[in-house]
Amino acid sequence: MAGDGADQRALQYEQTLMYGRYTQELGVYAKEEAARLREGGGQRRSRTLDLHEYDKSRCAKCRICTLRCQKFLISRVGEDWIFLILLGLLMAMVSWAVDFCIAICLQAQKWMYGGLDSNVFLQYLAWVTYPVVLITFSAGFTQILAPQAVGSGIPEMKTILRGVVLKEYLTFKTFVAKVIGLTCALGSGMPLGKEGPFVHIASLCAALLSKFMSLFGGIYENESRNIEMLAAACAVGVGCCFAAPIGGVLFSIEVTSTFFAVRNYWRGFFAATFSAFIFRVLAVWNRDEETITALFKTRFRLDFPFDLQELPAFAVIGIASGFGGALFVYLNRLIVQFIRKQKAINRFLMKKRLLYPALVTLLVSTLTFPPGFGQFMAGKLTQKESLVTLLDNRTWAKQGIAEEFDYIGHSAAWKHPQVNVFVTLVLFIVMKFWMSALATTIPVPCGAFMPVFVIGAAFGRLVGESMAAWFPDGIHTDGTIYPIVPGGYAVVGAAALSGAVTHTVSTAVIVFELTGQISHILPVMIAVILANAVAQSLQPSLYDSIIRIKKLPYLPELGWGHHEKYNIRVEDIMIRDVRYITLNCCYRDLHNVLLTGHLKTLALVESVESMILLGSIERAQLQALLSMQLGRTRRLEFIREQAMEEKKRLSMVSNLGSEDGTQRASQEVRFQISTEESSFSPTRTVPQKPLKPALKRPSVVERPTEIPTSPTDDSGIALKGLFCASPDTEGLEDDVDVEDDMTIREIAEWEERQLDEQVNFTNCKIDPAPFQLVERTSLHKTHTIFSLLGLDHAYVTSIGRLIGVVSLKELRKAIEGSVTVKGVKVRPPLASFRDSGTSSSENEATELHKLWDRHKSLSLPREQTPSESDEKSQ
């Protein structure tokens, strides 16, 4: 996370314009698909017929039947539930396989460590070398194969689900890198988690499965559907990681979505349940379990799980976890920023990318070396073992005499002959806290949920043990003695701390599903809510923190009841100096606008005077228009026309035409030459031509990739049409009978003339309904609309007139506090929209008048000369 700082800062992302795109989105896709299916069906049918004729002697009927079945199956493949079942199955198997490999890795380490118990130094070497090698391999492998696989993946998924396309984040390479990198990283025994990466892996799975399924037809190309499936995949990721379907769905919603479509709810539940089911069935099949049960099953008593008077202790756990969670996020960010800031360190680490992971691993594993410091912090337990012991049913510090408790199995690790169990717990919490914060900055695929969960459980256990020591006979006064269950406190602590770090409430549900007991529901809920309240008021969530560190294009949340946001309006944050083009502009204006601005889309207004917003045009479209106008094809046409005129003139002058034969001959030769030249790549001629003479500035030329280079490019149907249907290109092959014999100077002159022509927007793809806001829209509402529709920018209009533009950037600034409420001029209350006292509505009225008057002046000449305008429009 820190080592590849430069990469992250230079993160390539591409903003998709979801709203603008919807003009041709689903409908077109669906129809394409329908057509393809129909074609496919046709082909298959004809193939059937072929087979029928060709192969009559053999069991033709049987074949036809098979083909029909196949066809039926293929048509069924398009259904959502088949996709979800496949996804669930796949992810359950991946999860199980990863767990299996991790278990083997950890066993191998233990075996090595155990086998060398004669020599402490050799033991240390084995204990330390093993994780260092694994982590270094993981970091190196990920770095080489797909650097996008580094880290948790939840921040990226959050960004992707908002509609932003992150390049290379959903490829097969990333999948391989993430799975293998994660297995090695977790196999090393470092305090890392598998949950975040599993969200990413599930999304990768869904994306790849979509691609694979689209081979069989169906609507797998549909983008809305893909987003829906990615949301379901996130749920599957959490679900199959913890065998927690409900918690998985809720956690993934909380962590990745801003607005959740309830109609997609069932997808997540269906896939996550199936996945969790298969994941646990695999464990039964592998004889690890007798039947399907929870992953970290607890056995707390059911009759009297806790006393009402214990609730303050649970509340304390919640509040302390809130502070702890905020501290964890802060510490994590601090480490990343520290390493980035120290330029000397940074440069050195950049060169030796694998050094940082190795060093961190060395430090952490040295400290956990069981015969060394590790003996005071249960260092020899793996994460899973720690959690199992922490959630244990029994009280460790029974009656205050720590030695008495019945150490069996792994719980023995918590016992130290000299040191109290409380000290062990405190050391464990403190050491694991900074270790986890440090370890999650290693550039390997890893999450922070599980380490935080374990720390929380340890903290809860500490409080629980203290309570048990304080009230040996329980708090309940009348009747039966119900001793305090420290395991219950551990459950509460785990949920609270992980909830605080991730800013989620659903960790409560995950905890119930993980432990298989819901008896502590109220303490858990209270602690989680308190922890969230504290943590959210102090720090962003871990994922939002990473989003900020990585500078991903994401819109921050508004936070808990920030009412001042209601007071900021769009007019306070919008950019008034909008780049626009008018309907009657000439190519020179287009050229200038393209040179000065860097916006991806430009507003199209009717005229400078009226400023009526008609639509928006993508930059690439305008560049294509410009290159069409100045391109070689047009120039050749111009030359040909000139030649024709010349010829006509000549034939007029010398009507008898004595040299006619020779001229035609020479023309024929020229024709041959030029067809050869142009047929080399007839449709590619337009954009491949360097635009240097006209477009001297680098800002346009530097982005040749933005200009679509071939009609088979994926960049859009409209663009294909732009080049395929262009009459110039068609005509090129037929009657090109001129040679490009213009000098550079002539070309420059010709281009100057061309630039003065009016732009013809006929072949240009215009988004006819870009999103519009009004000046008075509050920041709160704007935020809602941007999040809801995944907008990138919105135009601010007033009765049709364009007056400003708001993009994500402005919005982010406004939310993050660059624009404070104090900076906003306070308008008089009740200054309603059309109150004549305010200036802006006066303006509006004036503008309305202008429009009106303009219209009058327009209609007058129209009535007088209707023929003229009719003539023009034809």
**Nearer to a second copy (CB atom), residue 351 or residue 563:** 563
Q: Calculate ∠ Cα 860-866-867, nearest 5°.
A: 150
Residues in the chain: 874
**Two structure tokens written together for 29:** 């896709």
DSSP class per residue in 469-497: HH-TT-S--SSS-----HHHHHHHHHHHH
Name which of residues 135 to 174 contact a second copy (CB under 8 A): none
Name the one residue in this structure whose structure tokens are 């214990």.
310
Residues 503-532, one symbol each (x = binds a second copy by CB under 8 A, - = not), give: --x--xx--xx--xxxx-xx--xx--x--x
Interacting positions 741-770 with a second copy (CB under 8 A): 761-766, 768-769
- Binding to a second copy by residue 258, rule CB under 8 A? yes
Name which of 275, 347, 305, 311 is nearest 92 in CA terms: 275
**Residue in 47, 649, 703, 850 binding a second copy, rule: CB under 8 A:** 850
- Sheet architecture: strand order including 766-767: 580-582, 601-605, 613-618, 766-767
Q: Would you tell me how many other CB atoms lie within 10 Å of the CB of residue 204? A: 31
Least distance between a second copy and beta carbon 98 (Å): 21
Of 11 and 769, the one with the shorter C-beta distance to a second copy is 769
Binding segment toward a second copy, per CB under 8 A, in 61-69, 144-152, 174-182, 256-264: 256-264
Q: Which of 62, 653, 656, 830 binds a second copy (CB under 8 A)?
A: 830
Nearest to 205 by CA among 244, 242, 178, 166: 178
CA angle (239 as vertex; 237, 243 as ends), nearest 5: 130
Pick 489 or 761: Cβ nearer a second copy: 761
Site for a second copy in 211-250 (CB under 8 A): 219, 222, 224, 245-246, 250
Is 812 one of the binding residues for a second copy (CB under 8 A)?
Answer: no
> CB-wise, 255 or 454, nearer to a second copy?
255
Cα–Cα distance between 755 and 588 in angstroms, integer?
A: 5
The least CB distance from residue 37 to a second copy, in Å, is 10
What is the smallest separation between the CB atom of 793 and a second copy, expressed in angstroms?
A: 15
Residue 831 Cβ vs a second copy, minimum distance, rounded to whole Å: 7
CB of 530 to a second copy, least distance (A): 10
Q: Which of residues 36-95 bind a second copy (CB under 8 A)?
A: 36, 78-81
The correct pick among 788, 813, 818, 820 for binding a second copy (CB under 8 A) is 788
Least distance (Å) between residue 401 CB and a second copy: 28
Of 290, 329, 24, nearest to 155 by C-alpha is: 329
CB atoms near residue 32 (< 10 Å): 14
CB of 218 to a second copy, least distance (A): 9
- Cβ proximity of 216 and 183 under 8 Å: no
* Separation CA 329–CA 535 (nearest Å): 9
Question: CA-to-CA distance for 432 and 424, rounded, in angstroms?
Answer: 12
Question: Contacts with a second copy in 551-580 (CB under 8 A)?
Answer: 557-558, 560-561, 563, 566-567, 569
Report the nearest approach of a second copy to the CB of residue 240 (Å).
13
Q: How far is the CB of 200 from a second copy (least distance, A)?
A: 20
Cα dihedral 267, 268, 270, 272 sign: positive
In the list 56, 343, 477, 479, the residue contacting a second copy (rule: CB under 8 A) is: 479
Q: Count other C-beta atoms under 10 Å from residue 657's C-beta.
A: 11
Q: Draw the binding track, 667-706, toward a second copy (x: CB under 8 A; -: no contact).
A: ----------------------------------------
Query: Is residue 843 involved in binding a second copy (CB under 8 A)?
Result: no
Of 399, 415, 419, nearest in space to 407 by CA: 415
CB 816 within 8 A of CB 556: yes
Task: Please compute, for residue 644, the number of CA atoms within 13 A of its CA located in the half-sphere on the CB side.
Answer: 9
Please pick, from the candidates 9, 14, 35, 697, the single residue that binds a second copy as defined by CB under 8 A: 35
Among the listed residues 409, 690, 704, 861, the single contact to a second copy using CB under 8 A: 861
Binding to a second copy by residue 789, rule CB under 8 A? yes
Residue 692's region, left for phi above 0, alpha for psi from -120 to 50, else beta, is alpha
Of 375 and 515, which has the nearer Cβ to a second copy? 515
Q: Note whether 820 binds a second copy by CB under 8 A.
A: no
Q: What is the DSSP letter of 799?
A: T
Q: Does 817 bind a second copy (CB under 8 A)?
A: no
Q: Residue 89, exposed/middle/buried by CB under 10 A (0-12, 13-18, 19+)?
A: middle
Using CB under 8 A as the binding rule, the residues of this chain from 600 to 659 that contact a second copy are 604, 606-607, 609, 612-615
Q: Which residues pair with 613 in a beta bridge?
A: 605
Range 398-417, binding a second copy (CB under 8 A)? none
Strand bridging mode 580-582 / 801-807: unpaired
CA distances from 78 to 71, 82, 219, 824 (A): 12, 8, 7, 53
Which CB, 595 or 717, lies closer to a second copy?
Answer: 717
Nearest distance from residue 291's CB to a second copy, in Å? 6
Residues within window 260-289 making contact with a second copy, judged by CB under 8 A:
260-263, 265-266, 269-270, 273, 276-277, 280-281, 284
CB of 850 to a second copy, least distance (A): 5
Q: With CB under 8 A as the contact rule, which of the stretches 132-140, 145-153, 259-267, 313-321 interacts with a second copy?
A: 259-267
Going residue by residue from 577 to 596, which x/- string records binding to a second copy, judged by CB under 8 A? ------xx------------
Query: Which residue in the set 194, 340, 398, 476 belongs to the binding site for a second copy (CB under 8 A)?
Result: 476
Neighbouring residues of 842: CB distance < 8 A, sequence distance ≥ 6: 836
Q: Cα(814)–Cα(767) distance, rounded to whole angstroms?
A: 27
User: Closer CB to a second copy, residue 98 or residue 227?
Assistant: 227
Identity at 829, one-letter amino acid code: P
Q: Considering the complex, what minimum distance in angstroms separates the CB of residue 633 from a second copy?
A: 18
Q: How far is the CB of 250 from a second copy (least distance, A)?
A: 8
Q: Does 857 bind a second copy (CB under 8 A)?
A: yes
Cα–Cα distance for residue pair 787/564, rounded to 1 Å: 19
Compare residues 668 and 853 and give the one whose CB is closer to a second copy.
853
Q: Does 781 bind a second copy (CB under 8 A)?
A: yes
Name residues contacting a second copy, limited to 722-741 (CB under 8 A): 722, 725
Contact 787, 259 (CB under 8 A): yes
Alpha helices in 116-171 (DSSP H): 120-145, 154-161
Residue 546 touches a second copy, criterion: CB under 8 A = no
Can you tell me the distance from the alpha carbon of 83 to that of 363, in angstroms, rounded to the nearest whole number? Answer: 45
Q: How far is the CB of 28 from a second copy (least distance, A)?
A: 6
Q: How far is the CB of 193 from a second copy (least distance, A)?
A: 22
23 vs 710 by CB, closer to a second copy: 23
Which candidate, 165, 167, 247, places its Cα nearest to that of 199?
247
Spell out the residues 6+ positions from residue 181 whose beta carbon is closer than 8 angstroms to its own: 138, 139, 141, 142, 149, 150, 444, 445
Q: How many chain residues bind a second copy (CB under 8 A)? A: 158
- Is the Cβ of residue 33 or residue 99 nearer to a second copy in the bound state? 33
| Interface positions, 290-319, toward a second copy (CB under 8 A) | 290-294, 297, 299, 302-308
Q: 323 vs 34, 319, 531, 864, CA distance in Å?
A: 55, 7, 7, 78
